[in-house]
């Protein structure tokens, strides 16, 4: 392990390897960093502010393999919270008390393996700012199978979840210009005018002509992982499936589970029918033989959130497969997925769910910004601590909300392109009921949907809310009939207010139901 000590990410203080000081490296901080990567590619390279005391005994836990990059903001991030004006993904609003997926790297303390950093050297060697370099590697790397974290285990004294100091405006514009679509610069510029009362025209113009790294492809070296041909005998998996009006589709899912090389321990089915005089459509649960225990709940309350919460009460296994009643998959899916979970020590995995005719969009493993309740496998140690919010019942957004709850516990969610299932999107049955009254004039309908507004209020900070609102207003303008911009703004403000009010009502109803 190599330790680079610096002063404010500008002045190199010392370099040591395995507790022995190295003195034959010259140049500024970034030059020395690249020299060390080239000379010691197999080493983990730690950077830290000279005054920071980091927890060396946690290093093997924080960096179990070479596809990890982690840091922790003892005092600040290099890229400020204003990035939320152009980016509302979970990665830019870390919860600082847990190991949280984020590309926002701090120069205070962190690390990356030399051979991993080497893959960025050809494109980023010209970058002089060490903080800019770290964030460029993380932002680009996250789309290329680099797992990036804020990890409080790096330091002895933890930081409370609070607003961190803002960096140079010009740096922010340059970073957005190089790592996002250029149009995002215009949104950022507008937000600075409106909310920051600043007119950063020079920063905008310079950023427009910066070299773009957006969607830059980087091939990272595969980590050395322990070979394992067997899943531990103690590793078991339960499957939960809410269903409504799709008996044949569900039967096909059960057949796929029955044919699995690694069979689940339990399959927990929550069947719903709003008719209180109805009976179950799933007679085959008793007439067929199944190589796993089936727990069947038949209830007359509809809604996937309530159904999944009911099913989760039955789970006792190591892993939970969140499944839908209209998916199909091959006989190796569970076995191969659990192998990957164990190989990379993943807390949760997002399977590649494809509809008919769809092709794989993302070809590499990567940290995922969402969560899917039809194609995710999660460790029970996290699942047992959270539930689905009834504020989203019959609408959309419960999966994103649940994924955020998992991340806030320190559960990263990794997308795997090779673990594929087919999502049929059956035309009948299901839980969504989001049709709006056609008699209501468009200017009186909420925008965004009330359930999405619940997500915004729960999981976006103030800057992210503002950025989302600006982006929504701009994108929706071309899709509606009001072309007078002044009239349009008036209508959208009203629709936003209606959405906020309905979101508040949904949250209140959810709180009352919990009680």
> What CATH number is given to the structural domain containing 80?
3.90.550
For residues 53 and 155, the answer to whether their CB atoms sit within 8 Å is yes
For residues 439 and 262, the answer to whether their CB atoms sit within 8 Å is no
pLDDT value at residue 250: 97
Report yes or no on 292 lying in a domain.
Answer: yes
Q: Say whether both 388 and 503 belong to one domain.
A: no
- pLDDT tens sequence across 57-102: 999 999 999 999 999 999 888 999 999 999 999 999 999 999 999 9
Q: How far apart (Å, rounded) are the C-alpha atoms in residues 83 and 93?
A: 10
Q: Say whether both 153 and 21 belong to one domain.
A: yes
DSSP 8-state secondary structure symbol assigned to residue 145? T
Report yes or no on 189 lying in a domain.
Answer: no
For residues 33 and 116, the answer to whether their CB atoms sit within 8 Å is no
pLDDT value at residue 439: 55
Q: What is the dihedral of CA 497, 503, 505, 510, to 10 degrees?
A: -170
Report yes or no on 48 lying in a domain.
Answer: yes
Of 128, 145, 165, the residue that ends a domain is 165
What phi and psi, each to the nearest 5 degrees, are found at residue 35? Answer: -60, -40
Q: What is the average pLDDT across 111-119?
A: 98
pLDDT value at residue 26: 84
Q: What is the average pLDDT across 9-30?
A: 92
Q: What is the average pLDDT across 422-444?
A: 65
pLDDT value at residue 228: 57
Domain ranges, residue 139: 2-165
Q: How far apart (Å, rounded) are the C-alpha atoms in residues 158 and 203?
A: 34
Q: Say whether both 115 and 21 belong to one domain.
A: yes
Whichever domain contains 326, its CATH number is 3.90.550.10
Q: How far apart (Å, rounded) are the C-alpha atoms in residues 304 and 504?
A: 21
Q: Say whether both 243 and 116 belong to one domain.
A: no
Q: How far apart (Å, rounded) are the C-alpha atoms in residues 251 and 267?
A: 12
Tell me the three state secondary structure of residue 2. Answer: strand
Of 142, 165, 188, the residue that ends a domain is 165
Report yes or no on 212 lying in a domain.
Answer: no
DSSP 8-state secondary structure symbol assigned to residue 221? P
Report yes or no on 499 lying in a domain.
Answer: yes
Q: Say whether both 406 and 456 belong to one domain.
A: no
pLDDT value at residue 434: 45
Q: Say whether both 418 and 470 belong to one domain.
A: no
Q: Say whether both 400 and 472 belong to one domain.
A: no
Strands 414-423 and 327-328: antiparallel
Of residues 156 and 410, more confidence is placed in: 410
Q: Treating both helix axes as pointing N-terminal to C-terminal, what angle do 183-191 and 169-179 enclose, rounded to 10 degrees? A: 150
- pLDDT tens sequence across 224-270: 876 655 566 668 999 999 999 999 999 999 999 999 999 999 999 99
Strands 147-150 and 100-101: antiparallel
Q: Say whether both 25 and 145 belong to one domain.
A: yes
From the list 237, 231, 186, 232, the residue with the least C-alpha distance to 207 is 186
DSSP 8-state secondary structure symbol assigned to residue 223? P
- Count structural domains, the chain: 3
From the list 370, 262, 365, 374, the residue with the least C-alpha distance to 324 is 374
- pLDDT tens sequence across 442-497: 678 999 999 999 999 999 999 999 999 999 999 999 988 899 999 999 999 999 99
Q: How far apart (Å, rounded) are the C-alpha atoms in residues 109 and 47?
A: 6
**pLDDT greater than 70 at residue 162:** no
Q: Say whether both 280 and 371 belong to one domain.
A: yes
Report yes or no on 96 lying in a domain.
Answer: yes
**pLDDT greater than 90 at residue 335:** yes
Q: How far apart (Å, rounded) are the C-alpha atoms in residues 378 and 287?
A: 31
pLDDT value at residue 227: 64
Q: How far apart (Å, rounded) are the C-alpha atoms in residues 253 and 323?
A: 9
Q: Say whether both 148 and 260 belong to one domain.
A: no
Q: Say whether both 271 and 350 belong to one domain.
A: yes
Q: How far apart (Å, rounded) are the C-alpha atoms in residues 160 and 511?
A: 27
Q: Is the peptide bond before 448 cis (omega within 30 degrees of 0)?
A: yes
Report yes or no on 430 lying in a domain.
Answer: no
DSSP state letters, 252-318:
HHHHHHHT-SS--SEEEEEEE-S-TT---S-THHHHS--SSEEEEEEES---HHHHHHHHHTT--SS
Mean pLDDT of the chain: 92
Q: What is the average pLDDT across 277-283?
A: 95
**pLDDT greater than 50 at residue 118:** yes
**pLDDT greater than 70 at residue 195:** yes
Of 165, 182, 205, the residue that ends a domain is 165
Q: Give the Å distances, CA to CA, from 131 to 49, 81, 249.
A: 12, 15, 52
Q: Three-state SS string across 322-358, please?
A: EECCCEECCCCHHHHHHHHHHHHCCCEEEEEEECCCC
Q: How far apart (Å, rounded) are the C-alpha atoms in residues 241 and 272?
A: 11
Q: Say whether both 459 and 389 belong to one domain.
A: no
For residues 309 and 388, the answer to whether their CB atoms sit within 8 Å is yes
pLDDT value at residue 462: 97
- pLDDT tens sequence across 348-362: 999 999 998 899 999
Report yes or no on 173 lying in a domain.
Answer: no
- H/E element holding 20? strand 20-21
Residue 156 makes CB contacts below 8 A (sequence gap 6+) with: 53, 54, 55
């Amino acid at each position: 392990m190599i330790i680079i000590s610096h002063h404010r990410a500008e002045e190199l203080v010392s370099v040591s390897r395995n507790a022995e000081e190295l003195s034959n490296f010259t140049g500024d901080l970034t030059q020395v960093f690249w020299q060390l990567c080239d000379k010691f590619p197999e080493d983990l390279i730690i950077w830290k502010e000279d005054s920071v005391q980091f927890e060396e005994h946690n290093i093997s836990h924080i960096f179990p393999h070479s596809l990890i990059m982690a840091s922790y903001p003892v005092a600040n991030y290099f890229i400020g919270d204003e990035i939320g004006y152009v980016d509302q993904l979970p990665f830019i609003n870390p919860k600082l008390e847990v190991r949280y997926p984020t590309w926002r790297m701090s120069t205070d303390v962190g690390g990356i393996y030399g051979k991993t950093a080497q893959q960025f050297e050809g494109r980023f060697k010209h970058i002089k700012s060490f903080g800019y370099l770290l964030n460029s590697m993380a932002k680009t790397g996250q789309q290329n199978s680099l797992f990036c974290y804020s990890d409080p285990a790096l330091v002895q004294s933890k930081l409370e979840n609070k607003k961190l100091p803002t960096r140079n405006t010009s740096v922010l514009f340059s970073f957005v210009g190089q790592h996002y679509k250029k149009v995002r610069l215009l949104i950022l510029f507008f937000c600075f005018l409106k909310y920051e009362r600043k007119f950063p025209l020079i920063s905008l113009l310079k950023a427009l002509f910066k070299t773009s790294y957006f969607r830059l492809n980087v091939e990272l070296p595969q980590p050395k992982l322990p070979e394992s041909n067997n899943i531990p005998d103690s590793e078991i998996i339960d499957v939960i499936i809410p269903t409504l009006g799709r008996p044949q589709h569900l039967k096909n899912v059960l057949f796929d589970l029955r044919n699995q090389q690694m069979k689940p321990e339990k399959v927990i089915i929550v069947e719903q029918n709003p008719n209180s005089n109805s009976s179950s459509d799933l007679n085959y649960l008793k007439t067929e033989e199944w190589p796993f225990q089936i727990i069947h709940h038949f209830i007359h309350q509809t809604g996937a959130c309530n159904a999944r919460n009911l099913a989760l009460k039955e789970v006792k296994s190591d892993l939970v497969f969140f499944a839908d009643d209209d998916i199909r998959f091959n006989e190796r899916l569970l076995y191969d997925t659990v192998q990957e979970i164990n190989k990379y020590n993943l807390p949760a995995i997002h399977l590649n769910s494809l509809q008919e005719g769809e092709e794989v969009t993302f070809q590499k493993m990567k940290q995922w910004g969402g969560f899917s309740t039809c194609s995710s496998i999660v460790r029970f140690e996290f699942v047992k601590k959270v539930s689905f919010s009834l504020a989203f019942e019959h609408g959309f957004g419960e999966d994103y909300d649940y994924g955020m709850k998992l991340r806030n516990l320190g559960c990263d969610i990794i997308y795997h392109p090779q673990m594929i299932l087919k999502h049929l999107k059956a035309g009948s049955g299901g839980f969504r009921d989001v049709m709006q009254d056609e008699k209501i004039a468009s200017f009186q309908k909420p925008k965004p949907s009330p359930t999405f507004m619940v997500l915004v209020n729960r999981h976006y900070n103030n800057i992210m809310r503002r950025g989302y609102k600006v982006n929504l207003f701009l994108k929706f303008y071309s899709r509606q009939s009001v072309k007078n911009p002044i009239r349009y703004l008036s209508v959208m403000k009203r629709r936003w207010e209606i959405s906020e009010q309905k979101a508040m009502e949904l949250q209140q109803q959810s709180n009352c139901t919990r009680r």
